[in-house]
């Protein structure tokens, strides 16, 4: 690694430099903790581009979206320094992202039906399984036929099916197999995809040689970071993209000692056996730990020797000795005593000049949080936000949960292990009074509102179109939320809790109200459930049985300058580092976890997969301990306690082994502060447009997370865009327009509206049919000249990177070959035309070297084509607008821009004190 950096690019030496320079064949980079793998990967990409490789020829997979953003930023810096701005402008065509993201994009690009599919996160998937539990027979998967246990069992086992690329038809006949077959049919009916199905379907698509040829046509270099964490399905994806099956030389980067996700499917054998499974592999070892002081490195090295089956290696030292680096305290009396001692140490460190933000407290499980938070609170030590507490531990969320339970007569408790009790209206009103500071007049109005609301929930069918999110916003008016001071950090965090609750509402509603294809008539769709008594009751039951234990509280706004101690789990700290790290609660049963290695009663026969991998092991727990040790740069503190409440507990064997490997010392004599990096702002055009329109609305929706209400017309624009894209792609591939019958068939099979009932779907499809046929009739020549659809662009300006996708690009504008015209479809403009988006895309395209001769906004509802000014002066003015907005957003300037025309239709107007509604 670097001995002496240049002004902009660190100079690499030894195997690090060799890994950057190597060409031809597969590469395995074993990168120890703190060895600078991100720098090596970034310089390798920059070197490939400098050698003449195109951005499209390089794909880099990361484990998280955050890691992807960091890697792409580093690549951009190295490319700019090595090759200049012109090369940087090409980077929008280089994919750096998660495997899930790559798979979803692959499916939407090369398997047309998936363009109308929606990805589900784990909470949304649980909501869907809850909705469909009877149809999927999920109760039968639990011995006691408990619904939510059956849902959990199904999720755990279907994850294995997907991780291991099992085919459902190959499973032995069983209730689980029946449920799985129904599950995949159900996902298709609703046009949903889980994280697991995104990868499975991408692998199946790549097994089609024609699709694989198209996907890999430009691909020459595949980079896989954190390779030790890939599961068998992801490994198969990598194998199909790599030579000899695909076209890419693959570079895998990782460390078997840091493989900590086998319990969710990853297989450490992938990295251990890579050289044996791929042909012509060259291995490079990055073993110098540049992060940690020698005492920490030596302790981690010694402990790593106890991990079975690891690749033989030892981290080398880089930093000089500089005082105490390790502290070990075995056997504080009680857990609270241990937490108090940590608080005292933090106070002492802070008095020495160590910033709070340079300190982390990392634990094996969240059950250790409570005592630590109590001790930090008593000592007035600030703590960074970050989802440490459950949402329903916050009083605001607990009251809202109790309200929905009261509406449906369901017993309520704000946690899974708290006794549920009947909620009475007077008690509920008292809670509202104390939590929201309401007066007698407020309470009287609230009481009347709640009584009327409850009477409406029993109407079947309802005489209104309920939206839980909209009803929640109606409630916020009575609570006078709009009067809260947005400049007050505490009030903003409380608003964040309210926003998180709208996520709970939206997850339930977006799944429960989701339409599906009519199995009896696939050209039509059946609407989802709409607010009858069971709609509300099922939501209340979901709250008490699932949501109270599964939704984290508000994570807080990202503030790079905020000074607070980080408190989190070791799993969540992967890839991070701090000058000072505390590792408390190292007791038997907590670390290693008492659940690790426990044999489970799977619904899939154990001989069909490596069950032990999913059940955890001492080896995996030891790797996790190694990861924890290597998060520290200057000083690490290990501690345990002897009692939990009144029950005695033994110290973890790991802290005892550490005690034998390293001598304990006092507090560090100093700690080097972390540099605060201020990366360029990376935003999508849609995000930028939302901020420019109204910064305060952007704060409420994009930063705090308030969700929009569900509306039946949602998705109409996307559905029309999909039809137009397929028509354009057909013309590009064949040189001909599709026939009227083909267009009608396409509308019949592919026009999907996620929340429309049968009548609304028919009505809006007919409306779309008229728009599409009129467009095709009037723009035949343009369609035949299709150059690209859904073309991604990235514009790199001072301090900001703006990304987006152009709907369609036509070639031969004005009859000139390679003279391109960008067209953006609008299903309705409302008479207003906003040119900034296409000016940004035209600017990005020209910087890539494309000739962009024109840009148009096409209003399909009026068949009007508006010309966008993309002259040099107009584009320069657009750049200034983008740079100014980005600078204000980075400064976190959320000054509102209220206008009645915007505010009356704004989703968050009831929680916004600046809204102009009259």
Asked if 528 and 432 sit in the same domain, the reply is yes
403: left (phi over 0), alpha (psi -120 to 50) or beta: alpha
The CATH number that applies at residue 888 is 3.90.320
The whole-number pLDDT of residue 1 equals 40
The answer to whether position 67 is within a domain reads: yes
State whether 775 and 895 are in the same domain: yes
Judgement on whether residues 395 and 380 belong to the same structural domain of the protein: no
Q: How far apart are CA 906 and CA 444, in angstroms?
A: 28
282/214 same-domain check: yes
351 and 248 in a common domain: no
Identify whether 124 is part of a domain: yes
Annotated binding site for ATP: 31-38
| Residue from 842, 824, 826 nearest 879 by CA | 842
| Segment (H or E) for 820 | strand 819-826
Structural domain contains residue 819 = yes
Token pair 């007049």 is found at 441
Q: Indicate if 94 and 211 belong to the same structural domain.
A: yes
Choose the final residue of a domain: 632, 661, 690: 661
- 571 and 531 belong to one structural domain: no
27 and 43 co-located in one domain: yes
Residues 372 and 418 in one domain: no
32 CB-near residues (< 8 Å, 6+ apart): 255, 257, 286, 287, 288, 289, 313, 315
Token representation of residue 313: 């290696």
Residues with Cβ within 8 Å of residue 755, at least 6 apart in sequence: 510, 513, 514, 515, 527, 528, 710, 711, 712, 714, 715
**CB 808, CB 814: distance < 8 Å:** no
Whether residue 295 is contained in a domain is answered as: no
Give the residue ranges of the annotated binding site.
Answer: 31-38
Is residue 709, in this structure, part of any structural domain at all? yes
**Phi and psi dihedrals of 713, rounded to 5?**
-85, -5
CA–CA dist 664, 325 (Å, integer): 9
Q: Cα–Cα distance between 22 and 802 in angstroms, integer?
A: 33
Q: Which helix H or strand E contains 636, and what residues bound it?
A: strand 632-644
101/53 same-domain check: yes
What residue numbers bound the domain in which 75 lies?
14-108+199-286
Which of these three, 601, 630, 661, is where a domain ends?
661
691 plus 745 within the same structural domain: yes
Q: Are 180 and 158 in contact (CB under 8 A)?
A: yes
Whether residues 428 and 309 fall in one domain: no
Domain C-terminal end among 550, 571, 591 = 550
Q: Mean pLDDT per 10-residue run, the chain (918 residues)?
A: 54 94 96 94 97 96 91 93 91 94 94 89 93 94 93 96 96 96 94 94 96 96 96 97 96 96 89 94 96 96 95 93 91 92 95 92 89 92 74 90 94 84 94 95 96 84 72 95 88 89 93 86 79 85 88 64 82 90 94 90 94 93 97 95 84 95 79 69 93 96 91 84 91 92 92 87 91 92 92 92 93 94 81 85 95 93 90 97 95 93 92 88
**Cα angle: 771, vertex 773, 777; to 5 degrees:** 120
Q: What is the pLDDT, as a whole number, of residue 4? A: 39
Where b means 16+ CB within 10 Å and e means fewer, 532-563 reads: beebbbbbbbbbbbbbbebbebbebeeeeeee
6 domain residue, yes or no? no
669 part of a folded domain: no
Count how many domains the chain has. Answer: 5
In-domain check, residue 4 = no
3-state helix, strand, coil in the chain (%, to 5): 50, 15, 35
Contacts of 795 (CB under 8 A, 6+ apart): 92, 801, 802, 803, 840, 841, 843, 844, 847, 882
Identify the pLDDT of residue 55. Answer: 95
CATH of the domain at 99: 3.40.50.300
* d(C-alpha 391, C-alpha 123), whole Å: 13
């Amino acid at each position: 690694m670097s001995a002496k950096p240049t002004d902009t690019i660190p100079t690499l030496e030894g195997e690090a430099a060799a890994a950057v320079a190597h060409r031809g064949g597969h590469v395995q980079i074993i990168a120890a903790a703190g060895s600078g793998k991100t720098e090596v990967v970034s310089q390798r990409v920059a070197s490939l581009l400098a050698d003449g490789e195109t951005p499209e020829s390089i794909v880099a997979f990361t484990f998280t979206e955050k890691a992807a953003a960091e890697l792409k930023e580093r690549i951009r810096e190295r490319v700019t320094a090595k090759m200049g701005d012109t090369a940087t402008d090409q980077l929008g065509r280089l994919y750096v992202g998660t495997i899930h993201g790559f798979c979803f994009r692959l499916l939407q690009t090369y398997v047309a039906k998936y363009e109308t599919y929606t990805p589900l996160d784990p909470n949304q998937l649980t909501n869907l399984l809850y909705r469909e539990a009877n149809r999927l027979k999920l109760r039968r998967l639990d011995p006691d036929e408990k619904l939510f246990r059956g849902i959990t069992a199904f999720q755990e086992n279907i994850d294995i099916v997907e991780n291991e690329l099992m085919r459902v038809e190959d499973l032995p006949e069983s209730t689980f197999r029946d449920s799985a077959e129904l599950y995949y049919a159900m996902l298709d009916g609703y046009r949903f995809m889980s994280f697991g199905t995104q990868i499975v379907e991408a692998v199946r698509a790549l097994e089609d040689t024609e699709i694989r040829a198209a996907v890999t046509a430009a691909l020459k270099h595949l980079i896989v970071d954190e390779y030790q964490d890939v599961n068998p399905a992801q490994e198969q994806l990598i194998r199909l993209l790599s030579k000899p099956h695909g076209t890419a030389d693959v570079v895998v980067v990782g460390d078997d000692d840091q493989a900590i996700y086998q319990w969710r499917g990853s297989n450490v054998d992938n990295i251990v056996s890579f050289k044996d499974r791929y042909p012509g592999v060259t291995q490079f070892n990055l073993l110098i730990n540049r992060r940690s002081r020698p005492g920490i490195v030596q302790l981690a090295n010694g402990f790593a020797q106890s991990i079975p089956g690891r690749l033989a290696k030892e981290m080398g030292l880089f930093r000089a000795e500089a005082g105490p680096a390790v502290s070990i305290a075995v056997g504080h009396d009680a857990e609270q005593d241990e937490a108090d001692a940590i608080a005292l140490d933090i106070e002492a460190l802070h008095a020495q000049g160590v910033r709070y933000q340079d300190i982390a407290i990392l634990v094996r499980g969240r059950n250790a949080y409570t005592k630590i938070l109590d001790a930090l609170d008593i000592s007035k030590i600030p703590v960074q936000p970050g989802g440490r507490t459950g949402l329903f531990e916050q009083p605001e969320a607990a009251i809202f949960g109790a309200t929905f339970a009261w509406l449906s007569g369901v017993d309520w408790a704000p946690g899974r292990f708290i006794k549920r009790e009947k909620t009475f209206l007077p008690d509920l009103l008292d809670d509202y009074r104390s939590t929201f500071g309401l007066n007698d007049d407020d309470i009287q109005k609230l009481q009347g509102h709640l009584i009327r609301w409850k009477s409406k929930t029993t109407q079947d069918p309802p005489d209104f179109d309920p939206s839980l999110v909209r009803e929640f916003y109606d409630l916020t008016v009575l609570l006078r939320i709009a009067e809260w001071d947005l400049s007050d950090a505490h009030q903003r965090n409380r608003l964040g809790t309210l926003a998180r609750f709208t996520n709970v509402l939206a997850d339930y509603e977006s799944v429960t109200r989701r339409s599906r294809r009519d199995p009896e008539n696939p050209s039509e769709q059946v609407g989802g459930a709409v607010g009858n008594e069971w709609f509300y009751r099922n939501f209340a039951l979901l709250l008490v049985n699932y949501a109270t234990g599964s939704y984290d509280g508000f994570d807080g706004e990202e503030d790079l300058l905020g000074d607070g101690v980080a408190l989190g789990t070791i799993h969540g700290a992967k890839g991070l580092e701090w000058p000072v790290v505390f590792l408390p609660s190292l007791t038997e049963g907590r670390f290693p976890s008492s659940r690790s290695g426990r044999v489970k009663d799977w619904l899939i026969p154990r001989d069909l997969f490596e069950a032990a991998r999913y059940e955890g092991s001492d080896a995996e727990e030891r790797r996790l301990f190694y990861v924890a040790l290597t998060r520290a740069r200057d000083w690490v503190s290990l501690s345990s306690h002897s009692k939990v409440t009144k029950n005695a507990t033994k110290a973890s064997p790991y802290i005892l082994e550490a005690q034998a490997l390293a001598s304990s010392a006092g507090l560090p004599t100093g700690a080097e502060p972390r540099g605060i990096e201020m990366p360029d702002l990376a935003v999508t055009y849609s995000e930028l447009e939302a901020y420019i329109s109204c910064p305060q609305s952007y704060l409420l929706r994009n930063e705090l997370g308030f969700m929009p209400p569900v509306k039946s017309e949602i998705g109409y624009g996307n559905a029309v865009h999909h039809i137009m894209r397929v028509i354009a792609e057909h013309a590009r591939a064949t040189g001909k327009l599709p026939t009227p019958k083909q267009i009608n068939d396409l509308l019949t099979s592919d026009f999907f509206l996620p929340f429309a009932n049968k009548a609304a779907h028919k009505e809006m499809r007919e409306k779309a049919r008229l728009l599409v046929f009129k467009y095709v009739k009037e723009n035949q020549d343009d369609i035949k000249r299709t150059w690209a659809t859904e073309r991604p662009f990235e514009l790199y300006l001072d301090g900001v990177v703006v990304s987006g996708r152009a709907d369609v690009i036509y070639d031969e504008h004005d009859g000139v070959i390679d003279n391109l015209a960008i067209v953006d479809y609008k299903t309705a403009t409302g008479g207003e035309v906003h040119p900034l988006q296409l000016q940004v895309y035209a600017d990005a395209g020209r910087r890539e070297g494309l000739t962009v001769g024109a840009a148009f906004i096409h209003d399909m509802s009026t068949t009007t084509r508006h010309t966008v000014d993309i002259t040099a002066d107009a584009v320069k003015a657009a750049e200034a607008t983008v740079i100014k907005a980005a600078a204000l957003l980075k400064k976190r300037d959320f000054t509102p821009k209220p206008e009645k025309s915007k505010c009356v239709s704004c989703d968050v107007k009831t929680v916004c004190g600046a809204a102009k509604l009259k």
